[in-house]
Structure 1
Amino acid sequence: VVQKFNQLKQGIQEVSSGNLDYKIEFGGEDEFVELARHFNQMGERLKATIAEAREKERLAFELQSAREVQLSLLPRRLPDIPGYRIAAGLHTATEVGGDFYDVFPLSEERYLITIGDVSGKGSSAALYMAQCISLIRFSCQFTTDPKKIAAQLNAYFSGATVDRHIFITAIIGVLDIRLHRFSYIRAGHTLPIRVPHQSDKKLEFLNTRGLGIGLTGNEAIFQKQMEIKQVTLESKDRLLLYTDGLIEASRPAAAAVEPRTSFDEEALVAVLSRVRHQNVLEIQQEIEAVLTQFYDGHAPVDDYTLLILQRA
């Protein structure tokens, strides 16, 4: 009995010092055998708990790193565009996605404006998002044609070096501030919304053909499906670009607010119709406030991003 008691004592000391693989083996059928069995099971449970905690810590670190990469690549400050106002915001979710936006001058009269969403979550989405933004800026050194920029992106993201499950939806456009014209392609992305200043004019979803980037390596098919559209902005008109996380929002099960359980295009149009005469920053803040209320204090399930352009 004393020997078995000392073995149990030794086992406790071993586990306390971190040796979770230590096992006690007793022969016979007495109560010490039962104690030894529970002791050994305790060690296995402790190992599993520690492994789970380490995995959660690793995932949390990866999530934070991905979020930092995502936010670091966004414009620190939007450029001043003569005759226009612009506002944008990106809201990260519990799982970091691949949302992005960018605005930068091509010349004194022309500005590149883009918004997009890389499929996937976590560090891989952040990595491909970084590549996408870099490739767009690099491509603009050689062409400012949105269709050609999209083709170059598609050639890369449909290549052998990129995960075949990765694709990108995006709007890539050029704003001409002299002609007040926005020329753009829509690569499988959500439809831009033109918000006329005149109350008697309806909000307009701007539809145009276009495949998601990376979905096909066949350049002819990609080019055939891609269509450039031009929209002229009248005085005080607004243009809203956004990612699907905005209009495909689902309320978490823990949220207690009723009655709406999803935020969709209809809900977005209702908000825009109500605030259509406000400036871009106020419109952005109102949309974000409605989404915050919708989520009832919980983090969004998916990233959502919006960019609003207004002619003065």
Structure 2
Amino acid sequence: MSAQFSSRIRQAWEATTRPDRAAILIAFVYGAVELLRASGRKVPSSGLFGFFFLLACAYAVFRLVVIVRRHLLWSLRNRLLVAYIFIAVVPILLLLTIGFISSSIVFSQLGAHVLNRDVQTRLSRLEGLADALMLASPAGGQDFPDAGADATRTTAAVSSLLTAQAKDLPGLAVRWQTGRELLPAAEQPGPAPSEGAADPARNSNLRFTGLYQEGDKLFLRSVLARNPSRDAPVVTLSVPLSVELLERLAPQLGVIQVIVMEPVDDFATTPAKNEFRYKRDDRTFRSVARVSTTARNLPPPTRWWDREVTGFSSLEATALEMDGARQTRVPVLASFSARPSRLSSELFSSIGDLSNLQFDFLLVIAALFLLLEAGALYVGVRMTQSITGSVADLYRATEHVKAGDFTYRIRSDRKDQLGELGKSFNAMTVSVASAISDQRRRERLENELAIAQEVQRQLFPRELPRLPGLELAALCRAAATVSGDYYDFIPLGKTELGFIIADIAGKGIAAALLMASLQAALRGQFLEKGSASRSTAEVVRRLNRHLVFASPEDRYATLFFAVYDSSSRVLRYTNAGHLPPFCFCNGSVTKLEEGGTVVGLFDECDYEQGEVTIAPGSLLMAYTDGLVEPENAYGEEFGLKRLMAEVLRHRQARLETIAGSVVGAVEDWAGTPERSDDMTIVLASVT
């Protein structure tokens, strides 16, 4: 087991690249450094090791992405899924995210609006109470009692009004004083009320209504002076921003928390624990107190989407500076939680029962869209399955083809391009199978041709015989793998040599087989006693009878057979329809034409024997029609004259050189690498 595990570890290590190994080494070094640091030892440049470890981690993530992409996205199905995710799912998620963020912002702003509106509503009530108290008070207004101390000097209406408002304004306090300087904004000729407060321009009174901060305490306050004189009576109504008041504010909201702020001169000072700092414009503020509800909880959600929303709101309070001489505007931060259902009911409360109708209509539209999306999803899945199924069928088919099974067919009844692709693959498989079958037949034929070529090579003389006073050379260039031309030399004694050149009708294996039969028949004649004395005409006559009975009717051959006696320099020959050889002697040319018709066509044929005495220095040339019939690009044959001129041009060269030059000249004349016929030349020089 351990050997197998170590083998897997070794294979995994060998599969890694140099950067992989470097990243692994860095991870091990960093781990060792962290162990040393954990044991209390100081490691120099530990930050540098951490930096390199981050680089190694980034590289590991990159490699992991590459590996996952390589393996996960290999199949077309996974690629289509990823494409659909980026094309459809990701935009939908982005839209849902934008909708979620937008709805959170909208409901947060709506909650802030509800909270601000409720605060302003209570400030408006304080302002109305101040007006009522001022109207109901005596002209002087001195020694007017607080609301909770003595209400006997107030009118019954004002007393009942204070009692009614005390429930929504817990801790309501009323104070009568004199002096316009008691106004928080007395230095202003006409202080602008906060939003929602009564317009001070409606009478000659001077007033202030808003949030007022004293130290870490925050109040809802309304201050009203009877007239602009400095000793005018001033009534002040204050409600502390306490837990009891927050419990009554904005019942649509959940938990509410208010943070009381004060300006701080040095922003660079270290904040205290749980201290919150806030910078606005060029001033910095810090938290000095927090007021939060304790008995309020969010109602349970009405639907699955009715999630908790958290919002923030910023109010403005008027506070005195630390020296008590200047006033400043201090932000008051409020946070809250809410349910979208409660806020939306507040938003649609103005249209009454119609809100449910609109919401139901929205649900119907959403359900319709959901059905359409489900239908689109079903269609997309079906189309994807059809695509991936066709590709999977093609892949399985290619695996069968790779294994050598060309009988496998793809079943496809589809009428689209994928179906046609499967049919095309089936047709291609049939074509490939047919081509492979043809290739195998061709290979067998080539093997047979190679064997025939080797057999034919054995039929040609391996080495030329030696005869006193006679030099020989021969060259055969086949047009195909095997040749239909034939030449041979047969020693008949110490001074006699028989040789033959033949041209079998046709090319290829059939001609080669007829050539082998011709050679066997020729050599078989000279195995009999006294055969050397036979005339060349008798030898050719016997060859003719053999070919007539041993070959098809359309097979024949032209041949030239001769016997040369070096002692008498006499050449006996018979030409059976072959191109007449030439004997070049002392500037004259003699054609060797005596003989008869071709062999292999007619049974009873008479052949004649010719004799010629070969003088010393003579050159005998026998050839086949493949040396005179090739045509150039203009359709002109090489011809006999050019052949003789080429031989005479190289008359003084070696016979092998003459043969090679003649064949090369003919090939250059034709100008094509393919030969139209076999080329054979036999040369004999008498010395």
Task: Report the TM-score, using the length of structure 1 for normalisation.
Answer: 0.86
1:141 to partner: Cα distance: 2.8
1:206 aligns with 2:576: no
SS at match of 1:170: strand
Aligned to 1:150: 540
Deviations 1:130-175 (A, max 9, x none): 221121111123323211111211111111x422222121111111
Change (3 A) 1:64 1:262: farther
8 Å CA contact 1:94–1:301 kept in 2: the answer is no
Letter in 1 for 2:535: D
SS at match of 2:596: coil
8 Å CA contact 2:485–2:679 kept in 1: the answer is yes
Change (3 A) 1:291 1:30: closer
Distance 1:264 1:69 in 2: 32
Letter in 1 for 2:610: K
SS at match of 1:78: coil
SS at match of 2:506: coil
Aligned to 1:255: none
The runs of 5 or more residues in structure 2 that have no matched partner are: 1-381
SS at match of 1:76: coil
Letter in 2 for 1:156: H
Distance 1:81 1:248 in 2: 33
1:163 aligns with 2:163: no
Match of 2:458 among 72, 89, 93: 72
8 Å CA contact 1:185–1:229 kept in 2: the answer is yes
8 Å CA contact 1:195–1:237 kept in 2: the answer is yes
Q: Of the two structures, which has the highest relative contact order with CA contacts closer than 8 Å and spacing of 6 or more?
A: 1
8 Å CA contact 2:663–2:679 kept in 1: the answer is no
1:311 aligns with 2:686: yes
8 Å CA contact 1:97–1:119 kept in 2: the answer is no
1:37 aligns with 2:423: yes
Q: How does 1:44-59 map to 2 (within 5 A)?
A: 44-59=430-445
8 Å CA contact 1:195–1:276 kept in 2: the answer is no
SS at match of 1:250: coil
Match of 1:274 among 649, 662, 674: 649
8 Å CA contact 1:98–1:118 kept in 2: the answer is yes
Distance 2:472 2:394 in 1: 71
1:127 aligns with 2:513: yes
Distance 1:84 1:29 in 2: 81
Q: Which runs of 4+ in 1 moved over 6 A?
A: none
Distance 1:308 1:134 in 2: 23
8 Å CA contact 2:480–2:507 kept in 1: the answer is no
Change (3 A) 1:28 1:285: closer
1:96 to partner: Cα distance: 2.4
8 Å CA contact 2:450–2:481 kept in 1: the answer is no
Report the structure number with the largest CA radius of gyration. Answer: 2
8 Å CA contact 1:90–1:99 kept in 2: the answer is yes
Aligned to 1:191: 580
1:102 to partner: Cα distance: 1.3
Match of 1:245 among 614, 626, 647: 626
In angstroms, what is the RMSD of aligned CA positions? Answer: 2.3
Distance 2:625 2:503 in 1: 8
1:113 aligns with 2:499: yes
Number of aligned positions between the proteins: 297
Instruction: Return 275-284 or 62-71, whichever deviates more.
Output: 275-284
Distance 2:638 2:540 in 1: 30
Identify, as 1 or 2, the structure richer in helix. 2
1:206 to partner: Cα distance: 2.5
Distance 1:170 1:108 in 2: 25
Task: Report the TM-score, using the length of structure 2 for normalisation.
Answer: 0.41
Distance 2:680 2:427 in 1: 49
